[in-house]
Structure 1
Amino acid sequence: MTTVLETPAPAAPAPVRHSRRLWAAVPWLLPAISAYWVLHYYDTPDKQIALYAVYLLLAVVVPGTLVFRAAFGSRGNLPEDLGLGAATGLLVLLAGWALAAATGLQHLLIGWPALVMALFAAVPGLRRHWRTGPGEPLPIGWSAAMAVVLFMVTIWGATVFRTVPLPPHTAELYPDLYYHLALVHEMTRSMPFQVPQLAGETLKYHYLSDADIATASMITGIDAHVVFLRLWVMPVAAIAVLVFAALARSVSGRWWAAPIAATVGFVGQSVTVGSIASPPGIGLPITLLSPSQTYAMPLIGIFVLVAADVLRGKALRWWGWALLPLLAVACAGSKASVLPPLAAGLLLAGAISLIGKRKIPWTTIALLATVGFGMVVGLKLFAGGGAGTLQPQFLATMRWFLPYQDVIGTADDVQWGGLVQDGLESAGTAARWFVAWSLIWWFLVQAPRLVGLALPPKVRWSRPRQWADDQVPWLLGGIVIAGVLGMWLLWHPSASQIYFYNAVLPVCGVLTAWALADRVRGRLVPVLGAVAGGLWEFFAPALTVPVSRDAGGWAWAMALPLIRTAALVAVISLIAVLIWRKRAARALSTALIAAIAAAGTVSAVTRTVESLGDPPAIKVRNHVAVTAAEMKAALWLEANVGKDDLVATNVHCMPMSAQQCNARAFWVAGLGGHRTLVESWAYTDRTVAANGVNDLKYFFQPAPDPAVFALNQRVFEKGLAADVQELRSSYGVRWLFADTAAGKVANAPLKAAGAVVVHQIGTVVIYRLY
């Protein structure tokens, strides 16, 4: 497969270079101003925005850029050095946090970035890394295009924040947000870590994203919930965009492939062309609801970029080889689903090299061993007992697809159920044909992400076995294939198998951009293709409902928009071939890739604009939404209670007063910032591993320690002096967080037993035990 490299331009005079640098900096004002406006509009204090910007520069970008240049070499231009350096800075800061958490020296963490910068200033051999290495600057067009992509990321941020108000505000937030916020507070403590909602339980989870948020909060002094719910997500997403943009430019040799890859990977989604069905799976690789997923993207991007360079013969410094195992462990501790696809890609690349060149690919083996090291250490340090719930099952993700639910008509068990899910196994012939069509349909509407597999960068056959010369396309293709297979061949009770596909979406964007770059011979064809694809996605006639909700009705409703699209493509292609003949035939694949990529982008932008035009969708269901008063009470705990004090609460469920407890409240530990004896246990190892017991999903399972839970409940409901004393002396509880919305609170008996009311607001009473 051939990479078309652009011819370097002659060196410009110094005044011209200075002027060009200034003009190249102008486009970056767009995402910067947009990010500020979004944060300011959604209630983030201006001083905290400014402080966090300084933190990003001095604690993340500058130290990370120095380490990146020392370990992997400069890219020859400042923007890519800073983007890749920021991703490396996340790893450098993570190392400082780990040292602080292991030694209890969190108060010195603020000096860690300064120590790194001082090292590069003091050591003569490292001083050169303060300067960009040799190379040509990127054109202004790159800066302008990338600035537009990052601007769209900030608009995505606005769609997120409008549904997640900053506390205290009566709202029903996704429970995982409270769960991660509690983990953020836990990461400010020293090792070993505990499950903050179930004190004493060892924490086994991919919590490194929470550690990064905690580090930002500790260094800046900004409240953890403000960092997490506002300041953190857009910069990390922007860093990931820059990393994969650099990867696209590197592998394709075309600067404009970078913004296309970033757009397809981080902005674009599946095409709709008027369809009413929504494909299963998460739309983007970045999401506030899963900070671990978002945080893992820049880290795995760095690894893929370095791997691609090494597979193409770039010599890696000893610093680089030393840093790669740490990077692999960081990836595993960020999101468990990111390393397996990379391992699969390296296996495929190595196999192709072995077959084609007939010699052992030692470099590929070294990279694969490094990834394997990260996976093994990750299993040891981060994977909990609940990880065993991930099982092989064919098309398990299909059960989350609305047409499948209508057609199959069988509610699959909450348990694993074998290699084929129950509904599919008992389905009739028509229903099975419909499922097969649904899978084909999914691949078609995912064309913006997967077209790089169907129409990959061209293979050259000018000499034997040339297809094995470059391992990089096989690496990227293997990563994407593994992500797709992981989504469709694995089962998890909460559909977490989709994260395997989610993890490879940025690589999909790179492969799509490279496939286009390898075919383009001029601007006209891809521009016309992109315009046509975008216009059709926007103006395609929309269906409202299927004629019937059976196999035939849904199959036709899903097929009709694609039939219309195929007919339009066929007509336009035929006209073009009749007029321009061979030239048109050669250009068809180029136009098609451009049209598909543009359609996916227009689809995503249209949804975003429509979302911003709707009223904010803040849920406030009774007994599910946490009231502003309850939030204020929890925030009082964070501000007034000793950091290591233990809290007991009667809040456990969502809704709080439900007869069958969905144990995912999480907000007392999340907003309160303290460990609780027993709050919510849905995500603990023992609970997740018990999924399916008594035909109940894991979050409906009872508390893992019934005796402690019973004692906890008796204290709040009866307030017996003996129970209060046992809670205090045997378990070390210092505070009671009692919410009458969650259940009965024996106020008078508690006072008689020595509990002192120290704060009361709304339905919450906080007691101190002496």
Structure 2
Amino acid sequence: MQTPIEATLAEGNNAAPADTQATAGRRRLLTAGRLPPAVLLVATVAVLWCYEVPPATTAVFALYLVLGITLPGTLWWRCFQRGRGWFVADVAAGLALGYVGEVFCYVAARLLGQPLLVLVWPLATVALFAAVPGLRRYWRSDPGADRPPPLWRWCMTGLAAVPLLWSVKFYRIYGLRFPYNSAPDTDSTFHLALLGEAKHHMPMVVPWVTDEPLYYHWFVYPEMAATSWVTGIEPNVLLLRLSMLPMLMAFTVLVGLLARKLTGRWWTSVAASGVTLFVLSPHPYQWRVGEFYRNLAFSGLDDGSSLRLTVWTGPTQTFGALLFVPLTLVLVDLLRDHRDGRRWALFTLLLAGVMGGKATYVPLLLCGLLLVVAVELLLHRRLHRGALIALGPAVAALAFSQLVLFGATSQGTALKPLTDVVTGGLGISTGYSTGEVTGRLLVLAALTVFAWVCIWAGLAGLFRRRLLTPELIVLIGIGISGAAATMLTGQSGDSQRFFLEAARPYLSVAAVAGLVALLPAGRMTVRRALPLLGVALLGIVVVQVIQSSGRSSVPNVRNTGSYGNLTRAIVLPHVALLVFAVVFLVALLVARRWLPITRGTAAALVVALLAGYGLNTTMQNVYLVLQESRQGGWRNVIHGSPLVSEGTLEAGRWLRDHSSPDDLVATNAHCVTLEGRCSNLHFSMTAYSERRMLVEGWGFSTTAHEEAARLDTWVGGVPYWKPQILADNDAVFEDPSPETVDVLRDRYRIRWLLVDETQSNVSPILSTFATERYRSGVCVVYELPRS
């Protein structure tokens, strides 16, 4: 008979296998490849639900995204690449390629007047890859493909979740219904108006003002228009909630995969995506720049942040950024081996998508390729065939885009050196750029370059061991040309900032590749990672100390006494950062004899310190968003000046449902009040009605940009260049009569009036000459009598 002790021991021995099995099961769950994306999916649904997107809507969107875009794109990606890689890599690149196929198919379908023919793209692809025996193998991942370790999967999933978490900053102030949709920026209604135009017309024109051709990178609008037709989801929900998220998540993963392809190391994927997202311009001041500038560059100096608010309010940039990464992945393969015809076809197809996705990318690509040719010629006395071949389609794409898509116009972009620092946060907040004095602008430019050195200091490692391969040279060329274009050009809407934003991921990848060269044998071990992380933390602390010792109020010439004192107040905190970095490097060199960890890693540790300077900016902005959200609310926050009147959404949708897409509409709404003055950037009537206007606003059009450049003024302040049309339009609202009605109806073919009763003087007798059909809030829809 067993004693109690023996029985207890026996029970424990019998339970051990079960405990072991449970532990092994939990371990398998944590290391499973499907768990990280599943967690991200659940989190995405939850966040969207919190911000007024029901799970059913998210499910419909996700279903079309997977079956209508990602599936055909992944199959073609594998076919063009002549193989099947790791599943997530294929899917991320396949999503980008799927978007390109969808856009081209939708443009053709819309030209035929049958937008749902866009479904030919996924259906034909699935049928082809199911029917052709040689293509069936692309349905499965390659079991022998190099697979990432579990920690990498969780890290990259976490990085892919960053845009979701950061989207809270956007979602909380960009509501979907009144009054929470009343105060967006002007860009959002601008893009929504173009999305409505893409839903109903091809070729597209500028819909908010008559007789104005659309010279713009417009490919993202057919993408969202196609999604709206297939899923039935409202355009504003796609623009303000759904469509940008998969683009941003895939972009984050693809940047990491580009680093992995170049270096052959998994850890560089996490580092490259991390630098792209988190390492920003140092801000060693206790005071903050204005919110508008924090949304652009977080600190007072432009850093091209990939999480600035424009990635949500500017879908063209987000779309172009996504498409350009797989293009670069393919280019890396072609620079290594230019003899693969399928990859050249894939390169050309992606280039066609990038060409109409965002104007900034093709010129940067061209500069990168030219740098490869020049370096190879100078260093090795040979022409690089891969780069030369790639120059052919790149030049053709640039010529086509400039002559056809952009109508040989500059969109107001011109050679205006240092415009970026003139209109930047540091110069405007302190008044230091007032008067555009060259000496002061050069100071701001020098501080900006120092900030860039902090972010991308790892580039120095590329020159240490002759690692300037053509693949890395093209990234450096893209980066340098983007930074140079930002500094040397100007545009009336400050769009020169997009050049640096476009270049940022490629500078980050190249900097991480340089960091590899600064580590012994290029290996990242726990023993090396911990000191690097510790030194990055030290960089954060250093910035905090400098901030706390400085002034809390924004310096300007009045409270400092002179521009000389203001210069010192602006420059000295950055000088302190530089001095500490130099002292730190000297200390490392001295300590090498008795600190083994510093041997061979001193330069890498300095890079980590400089990165810490920029990480502080991100950390403080995260804290600021949390603080503002706790104090002002996590959602449905009315923020800024009202730009959309009550009833605009409902009246616009009623008009959309009761009129023809070819109907031309007249409105009395022309003005939005920005900083106390009337601006021509009024687009909400067009945006919510999805109808073309005789004249609503007239800003953000090619002619407006050209007028702004001619008058040397802001694009939102230029007067309308067709005053007679504006007078004819407004007469029916302010002084209606049979004559004014006849002019609109017979001369301009107007059938509908969309009135905002808070805009201009609306005559009380308007209803005598037009029939009121719908009213919501302060907005009224009238129908003109037929002749």
- Would you say same fold, with TM above 0.5? yes
| Kept after mapping to 2: 8 A contact 1:757/1:765 | yes
- CA distance in structure 1 between the aligned counterparts of 2:40 and 2:64, rounded to whole angstroms: 18
The verdict on how the C-alpha distance between 1:723 and 1:326 changes in structure 2, with shifts beyond 3 A counting, is farther
**Superposed CA offset, 1:268-303 (max 9, x none):** 322234564633336523511211111101111111
2:439 is aligned with 1:446: no
Q: In structure 1, what is the Cα distance between the partners aligned to 2:486 and 2:305?
A: 15
Q: Which position in structure 2 is the counterpart of 1:194?
A: 205
Question: 1:589 matched to which residue of 2?
Answer: 603
Distance 1:577 1:752 in 2: 87
> Among residues 764, 768, 771, which one is paired with 1:752 in the alignment?
768
Q: After alignment, is 320-329 or 757-766 more displaced?
A: 320-329
Distance 1:639 1:457 in 2: 62
SS of residue matched to 1:389: coil
Partners in 1 of 2:318 and 2:164 — Cα distance? 14
TM-score (norm 1): 0.88
Match for residue 64 of structure 1 among 62, 69, 73: 73
TM-score in terms of structure 2 length: 0.86
Report sequence identity in percent. 25
> Retained in 2: the 8 A contact 1:264–1:448?
no
Compared CA separation, residues 507 and 206, structure 1 to 2 (3 A): same
2:410 to 351, 367, 387: 387
Aligned: 1:41 with 2:54? no
Is residue 767 of structure 1 aligned with residue 782 of structure 2?
Answer: yes
Which is worse superposed, 735-744 or 690-699?
Answer: 690-699
Give the distance between the partners of 2:331 and 2:286, measured in 1 at CA. 39
Give the corresponding residue for 1:436. 442
Give the structure 1 partner of residue 501 of structure 2. Answer: 502
579 and 701 in structure 1: CA distance in 2 versus 1, 3 angstrom threshold: closer
Q: Which amino acid aligns with 1:280?
A: L
> Partners in 1 of 2:713 and 2:224 — Cα distance?
34
In structure 2, distance between residues paired with 1:196 and 1:473: 43
Contact (CA 8 Å) 2:334, 2:344: kept in 1 or not? Answer: no
3-state SS of 2:327 partner: helix
Question: What do residues 583-617 of structure 1 show as CA deviations (whole Å, max 9, x unaligned)?
Answer: 52521111222333354345314312321331259
What letter matches 1:437 in structure 2? V
Match of residue 366 from structure 1: 389
State the secondary structure of the residue aligned to 1:387: coil
Q: Is the 8 A contact 1:239 1:298 kept in 2?
A: yes
1:525 aligns with 2:528: yes
| Counterparts in 2 of 1:200 and 1:388: CA distance versus 1, 3 Å | closer
1:436: how far off? 3.2
Structure 1 residues 447, 525: closer, same or farther in 2, change over 3 A?
farther
Paired letter, 1:281: D
After TM superposition, list the pairs within 5 Å mapping 1:388-537 onto structure 2.
389-405=412-428, 423-425=436-438, 432=439, 434-456=440-462, 458-460=464-466, 470-521=469-520, 522-537=525-540
Instruction: Give the drift of 1:550.
Output: 4.1
Q: Match for residue 705 of structure 1?
A: 722
For 1:336, what is the secondary structure of its paired residue? coil
Shift in alpha-carbon separation, 1:585–1:204, aligned structure 2, 3 A: same
Which 5+ residue runs of structure 2 have no aligned equivalent? Answer: 1-23, 290-298
Provide the secondary structure at the position in 2 that maps to 1:163.
Answer: coil
1:424 partner amino acid: V
Output aligned runs, 1:307-322, within 5 Å. Answer: 307-313=331-337, 315-318=339-342, 320-322=343-345
Are 1:328 and 1:375, in contact at CA under 8 Å, matched by a contact in 2?
no
SS in 1 for 2:699: coil
Give the C-alpha shift of residue 395 in structure 1.
1.5
- What is the aligned counterpart of 1:220 among 204, 216, 231? 231
Q: Distance in 2 between matches of 1:578 and 1:323?
A: 52
- Secondary structure of 1:199's aligned partner: coil
CA contact (8 A) 2:209 2:698 kept: yes
Residues 455-510 of structure 1, C-alpha deviations (whole Å, 9 max, x = no match): 436324xxxxxx67x21121111111101100111121222111111111111221
CA contact (8 A) 2:280 2:303 kept: no
- Measured after TM superposition, the shift of residue 178 of structure 1 is 0.4
Equivalences, count = 726
- Alignment-derived partner of residue 252 in structure 2: 241
1:557 aligns with 2:569: yes
Which residue type is aligned with residue 758 of structure 2?
Answer: A
Q: Distance in 2 between matches of 1:732 and 1:20?
A: 65
Deviates more, 1:140-149 or 1:32-41: 32-41
| Paired residues of 1:282 and 1:502 also in contact (CA < 8 A) | yes
Q: Distance in 1 between matches of 2:712 and 2:741?
A: 35
Deviation for aligned residue 1:106: 0.5
- Give, in whole Å, the separation in 1 of the partners of 2:538 and 2:504: 24
1:405 CA displacement: 4.8
In the other structure, the counterpart of 2:369 is 346
Deviation at 1:548, TM superposition (A): 1.7
Q: Is the CA contact 1:407–1:550 (under 8 Å) kept in the aligned structure 2?
A: no
Is the Cα–Cα contact under 8 Å of residues 372 and 474 in structure 2 kept in the other structure? Answer: yes
Q: Give the distance between the partners of 1:290 and 1:480, measured in 2 at CA.
A: 21
- Comparing 168-177 with 521-530, greater Cα deviation is found at 521-530
* In structure 2, C-alpha distance between the alignment counterparts of 1:22 and 1:407, rounded to whole Å: 51
Once the two structures are TM-superposed, the CA of residue 699 in structure 1 deviates from its matched residue by 2.4
Structure 1 equivalent of residue 294 of structure 2:
none
Paired letter, 1:533: A
Residues 225-374 of structure 1 correspond to what in structure 2 (within 5 A)?
225-274=236-285, 276=287, 278-281=299-302, 283-285=304-306, 287-313=311-337, 315-318=339-342, 320-374=343-397
Cα RMSD of the aligned pairs, angstroms, is: 2.8
Residue deviations 1:600-655 (CA, integer Å, cap 9, x gap): 34531431232133125945666x43233333322332344333322110001112
Aligned to 1:665: 682
Letter of the 1:740 partner, please give it.
Answer: E
Q: Is residue 630 from structure 1 mapped to residue 651 from structure 2 by the alignment?
A: no
d(CA) in 1 for partners of 2:221, 2:31: 37
Describe the shift of the 1:458–1:125 C-alpha distance in structure 2 as closer, same or farther (beyond 3 A).
farther
1:604 aligns to 2:618 (yes or no): yes
1:139 to 149, 154, 172: 149
More divergent stretch after superposition (357-366 vs 179-188): 357-366
What is the letter of the counterpart of residue 574 of structure 2? Answer: L
User: For each residue in 1:436-468, what CA deviation from the matched residue of structure 2 results, as whole angstroms up to 9, or x when unmatched?
Assistant: 3322221222335322333436324xxxxxx67
Are the counterparts in 2 of residues 385 and 686 from structure 1 also a CA contact under 8 Å?
no
Separation in 2 of the partners of 1:580 and 1:651? 70
Which residue number in structure 2 is paired with residue 177 of structure 1? Answer: 188
Residues 334-379 of structure 1: CA distance to partner in whole angstroms, max 9, x if unpaired?
Answer: 1111111111111111111122332222211111121111111111
Q: Distance in 2 between matches of 1:405 and 1:190?
A: 41
For structure 1, which segment, 235-244 or 690-699, has the greater mean C-alpha deviation from structure 2 after superposition?
690-699
Q: Distance in 2 between matches of 1:345 and 1:101?
A: 35
Q: Work out whether residues 652 and 680 of structure 1, in 8 Å CA contact, stay in contact via their aligned partners in 2.
A: yes
Change in CA separation of 1:67 and 1:549 when aligned onto 2, cut-off 3 Å: farther
Aligned mate of 1:152, from 155, 158, 162:
162
Residues 718-739 of structure 1: CA deviation (Å, up to 9, x unaligned): 1111221232233222211111
Asked if the contact 2:106–2:117 (Cα under 8 Å) also holds between the matched residues in 1, the reply is no
CA deviations 1:695-719 (Å, max 9, x no partner) are 6433222223222211110111111
